[in-house]
């Protein structure tokens, strides 16, 4: 396909490298379609609202004001940087099959752009949580400093203490202080509890479109975090990393829920309504929060039964938590996947889900 391109040299080189021989960049007179790269409002201001040839915008900005303005242009579709070869070619082929669809632009694409912009602009994690994300259990002295910081934060401390006393941790006696919680559960668990509590605020809205309450959804994430941690321990993966991935795996829902207009039961229904799903949006958010790449990728794949060990742990932890009826079967499948005795796996998971104390 012959395409004319208006935009930066960097993107142009990218297209030449990625898309040859499917797409060839040619002068405008010879082109069948055109790509216009949009890097900001000033570019849009110079463009006409309609175009003589099929036109696709390549969006290379996250500015909300730009995305709002794109609606008024009569384009055939919108692509995002970095361009994904398969997606772009598929869309171009589909369009070629429906000649003359040039009209009000691709509403899915605009929706997608808005969602991406919202995900990019999600409020930052609280300072302490941001530091905790970077921290590993090896930094023992630093961990202790954080416990001191947690103690100074009244609100955070009281939420952690409340959580420690909830059935999740199954402690026999009421815990009244962070110091006591640290003694009983260990400094690392207190650190992870602080992280869990720091994500609660993102769920403080109406999740009726997901047929769940914000509180329940957060509790699901918290349970998946602990399952991930438990499975990681069993199979020799980094427990803290998996805890973090588990805790944040459904974060995409906190953005998508603001755009859904009908109830959804699965990711396919999200994509049908919005052109994007919560796993993809979750990856964007976690990238934004500088979470390590293997974890952001695991979040993107958390509904797929494939991928590396980290992704698989998250996949099974989520499945085991959600699907109570099939729990036994899923535990067996997980045990098989990780080459672990299924009785042992069932016992670890059973303890975590029933909130029994760890024997340590
Ligand atoms: Fe999910
Ligand atoms: Fe989930």
Cα-to-centroid distance, 221 and ligand 1 (Å): 9
Q: What is the pLDDT of residues 270-317, one digit of tens each?
A: 999 998 999 999 999 999 999 999 999 999 999 998 889 999 999 999
Cα-to-centroid distance, 156 and ligand 1 (Å): 26
Say which residues have a Cβ less than 8 Å from residue 332's Cβ, sequence separation at least 6. 342, 345
What would the two tokens of residue 45 be?
A: 């201001």
Cα-to-centroid distance, 216 and ligand 1 (Å): 13
Neighbour tally for 200: CB within 10 Å: 16
Say which residues have a Cβ less than 8 Å from residue 48's Cβ, sequence separation at least 6. none
Cα-to-centroid distance, 317 and ligand 2 (Å): 9
Cα-to-centroid distance, 321 and ligand 1 (Å): 11
pLDDT at 143: 80
Cα-to-centroid distance, 227 and ligand 2 (Å): 12
Cα-to-centroid distance, 66 and ligand 2 (Å): 32
d(Cα 245, Cα 208) in Å, to the nearest integer?
24
Nearest to 196 by CA among 188, 186, 207: 188
Cα-to-centroid distance, 279 and ligand 1 (Å): 6
Q: Is 211 helix (H, G, I), strand (E, B) or coil?
A: coil
Please, which residues have CB less than 5 A from ligand 1, an ion?
250
Cα-to-centroid distance, 318 and ligand 2 (Å): 5
Cα-to-centroid distance, 65 and ligand 2 (Å): 32
Kindly identify the ligand whose nearest atom is closest to the C-alpha of 218.
2
d(Cα 155, Cα 157) in Å, to the nearest integer?
5
Angle at 297 between CA 294 and CA 299, to 5 degrees: 115
Say which residues have a Cβ less than 8 Å from residue 141's Cβ, sequence separation at least 6. none
Residue 110, phi then psi, degrees to nearest 5? -65, -45
Cα-to-centroid distance, 204 and ligand 2 (Å): 17
d(Cα 90, Cα 87) in Å, to the nearest integer?
5
Cα-to-centroid distance, 314 and ligand 2 (Å): 9
pLDDT at 246: 97
Say which residues have a Cβ less than 8 Å from residue 105's Cβ, sequence separation at least 6. 70, 71, 73, 74, 75, 76, 77, 78
Cα-to-centroid distance, 46 and ligand 1 (Å): 41
Residue 33, phi then psi, degrees to nearest 5? -140, 165
The 8-class DSSP code of residue 55 comes to E
pLDDT at 100: 44
pTM of this prediction exceeds 0.85: no
Cα-to-centroid distance, 61 and ligand 1 (Å): 27
Cα-to-centroid distance, 18 and ligand 1 (Å): 31
pLDDT at 179: 92
d(Cα 262, Cα 67) in Å, to the nearest integer?
23
Say which residues have a Cβ less than 8 Å from residue 97's Cβ, sequence separation at least 6. none
Cα-to-centroid distance, 61 and ligand 2 (Å): 30
Sheet holding 24-25, edge to edge: 24-25, 2-6, 33-38, 55-59, 77-80
d(Cα 312, Cα 314) in Å, to the nearest integer?
5
User: For the chain, which residues score pLDDT lower than 70?
Assistant: 97-106, 136-139, 356-360
- Asked if residue 95 lies in contact with residue 47, where contact means CB atoms within 8 angstroms, the answer is no
Kindly identify the ligand whose nearest atom is closest to the C-alpha of 219.
2
Cα-to-centroid distance, 256 and ligand 2 (Å): 14
The 8-class DSSP code of residue 44 comes to H
Residue recorded with tokens 């991930």: 228
Nearest to 103 by CA among 67, 74, 69: 74
- Asked if residue 355 lies in contact with residue 181, where contact means CB atoms within 8 angstroms, the answer is no
Cα-to-centroid distance, 112 and ligand 1 (Å): 18
Alpha carbon distance, N-terminus to C-terminus of the chain: 65
Nearest to 286 by CA among 316, 263, 321, 314: 314
d(Cα 256, Cα 276) in Å, to the nearest integer?
9
Cα-to-centroid distance, 250 and ligand 2 (Å): 5
Kindly identify the ligand whose nearest atom is closest to the C-alpha of 246.
2
Kindly identify the ligand whose nearest atom is closest to the C-alpha of 302.
1
């Amino acid at each position: 396909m012959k395409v004319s391109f208006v935009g930066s040299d960097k993107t142009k080189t990218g297209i030449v490298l990625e898309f040859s021989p499917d797409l060839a960049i040619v002068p405008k007179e010879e082109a069948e379609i055109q790509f216009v790269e949009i890097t900001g409002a000033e570019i849009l201001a110079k463009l006409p609202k309609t175009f003589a040839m099929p036109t696709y915008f390549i969006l290379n900005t996250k500015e909300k004001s730009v995305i709002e303005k794109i609606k008024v242009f009569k384009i055939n579709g919108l692509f995002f940087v970095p361009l994904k070869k398969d997606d772009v070619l598929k869309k171009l082929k589909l369009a070629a099959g429906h000649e003359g669809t040039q009209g009000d632009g691709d509403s899915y694409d605009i929706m997608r752009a808005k969602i991406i912009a919202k995900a990019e602009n999600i409020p930052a994690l609280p300072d302490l949580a941001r530091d905790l994300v970077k921290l590993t259990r090896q930094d023992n002295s630093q961990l202790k400093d954080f416990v001191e910081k947690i103690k100074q934060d009244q609100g955070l401390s009281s939420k952690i203490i409340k959580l420690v006393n909830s059935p999740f941790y199954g402690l026999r006696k009421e815990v009244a202080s962070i110091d006591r919680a640290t003694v009983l559960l260990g400094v690392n668990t207190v650190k992870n509890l602080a992280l869990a509590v720091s994500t609660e605020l993102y769920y403080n809205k109406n999740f009726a479109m997901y047929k769940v309450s914000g509180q329940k959804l957060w509790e699901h994430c918290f349970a998946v975090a602990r399952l991930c941690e438990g499975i990681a321990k069993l199979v020799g993966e980094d427990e803290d990393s998996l805890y973090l991935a588990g805790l944040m795996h459904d974060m995409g829902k906190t953005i998508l829920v603001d755009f859904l207009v009908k109830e959804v039961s699965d990711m396919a229904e999200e994509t049908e309504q919005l052109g994007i799903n919560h796993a993809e949006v979750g990856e964007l958010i976690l990238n934004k929060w500088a979470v390590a790449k293997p974890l952001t990728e695991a979040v993107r794949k958390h509904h797929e039964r494939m991928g590396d060990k980290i992704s698989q742990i998250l996949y099974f932890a989520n499945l085991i938590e959600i699907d109570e009826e099939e729990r036994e079967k899923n535990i067996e499948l997980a045990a098989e996947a990780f080459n672990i005795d299924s009785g042992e796996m069932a016992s670890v998971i059973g303890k975590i889900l029933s909130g029994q104390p760890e024997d340590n």
